[in-house]
Structure 1
């Protein structure tokens, strides 16, 4: 059995388990937490694309998440546009805003890019918080509709919402897989490793960075849209910098620059947080030291650490095999 076949078998097993969970577990609270986890994962994949594969840490990610959520809310609640039309318009609006911001932000590099996007994220928060006539200000938006029925399929029950958001998560993972394993993905990794070297072999640096940035805003918008239609109430807090840091923690714990890192990190942190709700006010006193230790000993996160351990084991086996062969050859010669 080849390694690739094993990998496909594991992926199919996980997908099958996710599809069968509603038949195994009958708990609405469980489905609520899992649905929220699916929504966060989509947003984390967007951050992973720009930070993990392109090497640019965007601290405005929560701002684009909020733009997607508020675009859907405003279009459906205030302008009474049909949900699915508002859904696609919200994605388009966020991507256009991301394109404009990216054209300026990507003129900077490294920590200057992070600082600039941090400022952009805070400006988005202020606009949402202060523009009461459009966003509702601190009161937020209430009564955002759930997705309309598709024939006999309704999206009002916890299980149907679970499947609805699982569908978009699987679509996002498939899209990320195709991007990462395409020429575009290899180009982004080349830019992350060395922009100067990538430029010398004819790669258009600005164009590819901009594509990566806009795609990351698309994932953030999709996550925000699904969040708004699931919770049905949004406030300015979803655009605050703490939201971006939550996305970043999910990514760092799971494994930045890996395909399965966002899933592992999000599930782990979300469920640990649920178990430690009685310590909610002291959450960062627990996660802070743990995250510091993880970054020191496993800078590539849990998934990256597992991959590194597997590589070391393979190299060790290879060395042992070569040593055994050389010993056999010496014995035969002797």
Structure 2
């Protein structure tokens, strides 16, 4: 795991991702992995507001649906080119996030989560009932795939896979830049406590709102990619169950880390796929496995490993500090013997 702290580790993961289409047994495996990548992008966004800023947004899947419906409505009903609609998916989600965050972020802890849960359900109902705009329960059919580039046809599974992978890599790089910057440290200070953040001179509302908008921007882009990938969307995209799935990805991988949500978003769907042989009993197996993981690895796979690494480094530093006086005393004794 130490390898994944370095550029070499990330390049190794990228090489595995690039080689996956040649190792996959069929197009179905490519479809599963591409879908996992899309939800990984959305989970990375949720991790920013939850893991790094400490605000649990239960309306996250609703904003993903906003991005998906933005692409669907603009391309199908108004013949807007796909890439323009895709860019607007993130912008519309962030703009809506500004108004939702302006109200919801005045609340704290579980009150904020309950409020966003209500917001998410309202978004679901609007998508389901506003038939003149969203096509209601019928959904939007015939969403165009991203336009071809030369001989690269994005209706084919392999080009689709590499396109989604490109956006996942870009999302990870951008998120890495954010969390390693002063802005990211500001978000983490807010997570550690509002009083501490205010004592440091941090504007709580402004920075919470910025984190919220950035978070739902990623959700909107993921929704736009999902619409172009699946080419059909319905109200179920906005279901709170998808937010809970993304939460599970963060918990399994490691909330508040960059690698954790990625591993969770890729590993959990594949585990459920392999448990499909159990049919109706697969959740009987998967449920206890998840409970055991949460009990013994409460910070997720990556988070637990990072905590153990910090403890080892602290013990090593403590051992070095305790041995330093003895070394100094032996040096002074040797000097005294030389003078004598």
Q: Same fold (TM over 0.5)?
A: yes
TM-score range normalised by the length of the shorter chain: over 0.9
1:93 Cα deviation from its structure 2 partner: 1.4
Q: CA deviation at 1:290?
A: 3.0
Q: Equivalent residue for 1:51?
A: 50
Rounded Cα–Cα distance in structure 2 between residues aligned with 1:209 and 1:188 = 7
In 1, are the aligned partners of 2:105 and 2:209 still within 8 Å (CA)?
A: yes
Alignment match, 1:315: 314
Instruction: Single out whichever of 202-211 and 21-30 deviates more from structure 2.
Output: 21-30
Name the Cα RMSD after superposition.
Answer: 2.2
Mean CA deviation greater in 51-60 or 128-137: 128-137
For residues 253-268 of structure 1, the aligned pairs below 5 Å read 253-268=252-267
Within 1, Cα distance between the matches of 2:149 and 2:200?
A: 49
Query: 1:234-249 to 2 correspondence within 5 Å?
Result: 234-249=233-248
CA distance in 2, matches of 1:299, 1:187: 25
Alignment CA distance shift 1:197-1:68 (3 Å): same
Q: Could you give the per-residue CA deviations for residues 45-102 of structure 1, whole angstroms, max 9, x where no partner exists?
A: 0100000000000000010010100110011111111111111222221111111111
Q: How does 1:1-334 map to 2 (within 5 A)?
A: 7-25=6-24, 27-321=26-320
Q: Provide the rounded CA distance (Å) in 2 between the counterparts of 1:282 and 1:114.
A: 31
Cα deviations across residues 280-310 of structure 1 (Å, max 9, x unaligned)? 5455443433333333332211100111122
In the comparison of the two structures, how many residue pairs are matched? 332
TM-score, normalised by the number of residues in structure 1: 0.93
Contact 2:140 2:234 in 1 (8 A): yes
- How many Å apart are 1:327 and its aligned residue? 6.7
Preserved contact between residue 86 and residue 225 of structure 2 (Cα < 8 Å): no
The aligned residue for residue 338 of structure 2 is: none
CA deviation vs aligned residue, 1:157-179 (integer Å, no higher than 9, x gap)? 11101100000000100010000
Q: CA deviation at 1:214?
A: 0.4
Distance 1:282 1:96, change over 3 A: farther
Q: Unpaired runs of 5+ in structure 1?
A: none
Question: How far apart in 2 are the matches of 1:137 and 1:67?
Answer: 14
- 2-side partners of 1:88 and 1:208: how far apart? 24
Q: 1:226 to 1:280 in 2, by over 3 A?
A: farther
Identify which range, 21-30 or 81-90, moves more after superposition.
21-30
Of residues 321-330 and 186-195 in structure 1, the stretch that sits farther from structure 2 once superposed is: 321-330
Distance in 2 (CA, whole Å) between partners of 1:24 and 1:180 is 33
CA positional deviation for 1:317: 3.8
User: For residues 286 and 197 of structure 1, do their structure 2 counterparts lie closer, same or farther at Cα, with a shift above 3 Å needed?
Assistant: same
Q: TM-score, normalised by structure 2?
A: 0.91
Q: Which runs of 5+ in 2 are unaligned?
A: 335-340
Moved more, 48-57 or 274-283: 274-283
Cα distance in structure 2, aligned partners of 1:38 and 1:5 = 19
Inter-partner Cα distance in structure 2 for 1:126 and 1:280: 31
Which of structures 1 and 2 has the bigger CA Rg? 2
Counterpart Cα distance in 2 of 1:171 and 1:317: 37
2:264 is paired with a residue whose SS is helix
Question: 1:325 Cα shift?
Answer: 6.1
Change (3 A) 1:318 1:203: closer
